[in-house]
Structure 1
């Protein structure tokens, strides 16, 4: 019955049998049949057709309200008894933007798995906007991203601080300059991250504070990851701005990382979840472990 309640709640939230079927990896008729079986068990009609979609009957409204409450209570129960290490198993699917996914999370997840070796992980990496969409679509348990997404359905908690610095090939004349001025590099070729990345959003916000935007610069290349940024800079295409967390290997790759005068770019990484939707036992424990690794202060 609990599974039927959970399915019914998903259908109501998504307003689509087809969307729920796709997310669960089953057919649309299978979802319809299970909702029909739920109605038969309760002895009431829960949904009725309205235009091209459906709406809740008065009984459906009541069942939906109580179903959410019961599902929350069940999650809380499982969380409370989940202190038993024998229950800490299964898979946690985490979404992450490029910097936390490539440079931070592997280390933290290795430590967490030392504590709970039965837990397995799947780490999906993309830009921040894409990961927010995956959290909304229930495709990941939670995400770690480089931008804030506080909406009606999403909530963000600050995790760790980051800053972006100027990076250039060690063979480039700019690498020898003691001081880098923002206006002096506007004509030089620049490499930027893709639209949707927290990295790019932070960079554009910093430019706006100086009364500038990307149109004021010579954009030579747009790429989809920090590793691609480093490779492009190393090849001599131009300069870029790179996270300090991705800069540790710069020297080995023939790159120089430095600050630009009066142009400080700071941002945060955030733990992103669905608002008012409890995580599974294992995902909740992992989330709490990550949250405990750093001081939750304002970035």
Structure 2
């Protein structure tokens, strides 16, 4: 019954049988059958069709609020039972954008695991917007991304700062300049991260402050990872802007330079779903990162 109740809550909150079916990896008719079976067990009508969608009946509204409370109490009960164990165990699924996922989290999670050896991790990496969607769909417990996303369903908490600098091959013509101006960059090809990344958004916002837009530049390559961007720079496809966190250990073939008037800073954020009760392993890991 709890499983069907959980599916019902997801259907109500997503407003779509199809979306829930996709998240659960089942067919849409299977979700419809679950909802029909639930109505038969309760002997009430929970949904009423409205165009191509549905609305809750009065009975559906009552059941939804009770179901939410029951599921939350069930999760709390499981948490309380887990806390009686000597050691916490389990797996935490974390989503991350590229910089925190590839360069920062592995070290931090290693520190956490020294204190909690029976907790393991799954780390999924993608762009910031994609990871926020995975938190929303509850595919990951929480995420660490380069965008501050606060909505009615998602909560964003600042984690740590980041600085992004111009990076180019040591023999690039721009590196011969004593002072690099933003306008100088327009004469040479640029390598960029893909749309949807917090990294790219930070660059766009910094350029706009100088009345410049990415359309003013020649983009030779768009890539979906920082390592690809670095390899593209080494291959003379152009310069780029890279987090200083991704420049360790130092690479003698690349140089990081300042651009006059162009300061690119941003933050990394812990993203959770507001109504999600984290498992004890996930909560311990979240609190460790947060603090």
What TM-score do you get using the length of structure 1 for normalisation? 0.89
Structure 2: distance between partners of 1:281 and 1:119: 10
What is the aligned-residue RMSD (CA, Å)? 2.0
Q: Which secondary structure state, in structure 2, belongs to the residue aligned with residue 164 of structure 1?
A: strand
> Which has the higher mean CA deviation after the structures are superposed, 65-74 or 265-274?
65-74
Q: Conserved in 2, the CA contact under 8 Å of 1:250 and 1:257?
A: no
Unaligned ranges ≥5, structure 2? none
> Which has the higher mean CA deviation after the structures are superposed, 33-42 or 261-270?
33-42
Q: CA deviation at 1:87?
A: 6.8
Structure 2: distance between partners of 1:285 and 1:102: 21
Q: 2:70: which partner in 1?
A: 70
C-alpha change, 1:199 and 1:43, in structure 2 (3 Å) is same
> Which has the higher mean CA deviation after the structures are superposed, 171-180 or 122-131?
171-180
Q: Which secondary structure state, in structure 2, belongs to the residue aligned with residue 186 of structure 1?
A: helix
Q: Which secondary structure state, in structure 1, belongs to the residue aligned with residue 4 of structure 2?
A: helix
Q: Conserved in 2, the CA contact under 8 Å of 1:193 and 1:223?
A: yes
Q: Which secondary structure state, in structure 2, belongs to the residue aligned with residue 139 of structure 1?
A: coil
Q: Conserved in 1, the CA contact under 8 Å of 2:87 and 2:118?
A: no
Structure 2: distance between partners of 1:168 and 1:52: 53
After superposition, the C-alpha distances for 1:171-205 in whole angstroms (9 at most, x for unaligned) are: 22333444222222221111111111101100011
> Which has the higher mean CA deviation after the structures are superposed, 39-48 or 80-89?
80-89
Q: Conserved in 2, the CA contact under 8 Å of 1:85 and 1:116?
A: no
After superposition, the C-alpha distances for 1:216-260 in whole angstroms (9 at most, x for unaligned) are: 2222222111111111111112211110100113424x1011222
Q: Which secondary structure state, in structure 2, belongs to the residue aligned with residue 161 of structure 1?
A: strand
Q: Conserved in 1, the CA contact under 8 Å of 2:158 and 2:267?
A: yes
1:231 counterpart = 2:227: no
Structure 1: distance between partners of 2:133 and 2:116: 29
Q: 1:283: which partner in 2?
A: 282
Q: 2:120: which partner in 1?
A: 120
What TM-score do you get using the length of structure 2 for normalisation? 0.91
Structure 1: distance between partners of 2:25 and 2:134: 15
Runs of 4+ more than 6 Å apart: none
Q: 1:274: which partner in 2?
A: 273
Q: 2:14: which partner in 1?
A: 14
Q: 2:258: which partner in 1?
A: 259
Structure 1: distance between partners of 2:156 and 2:260: 31
Aligned residues: 291
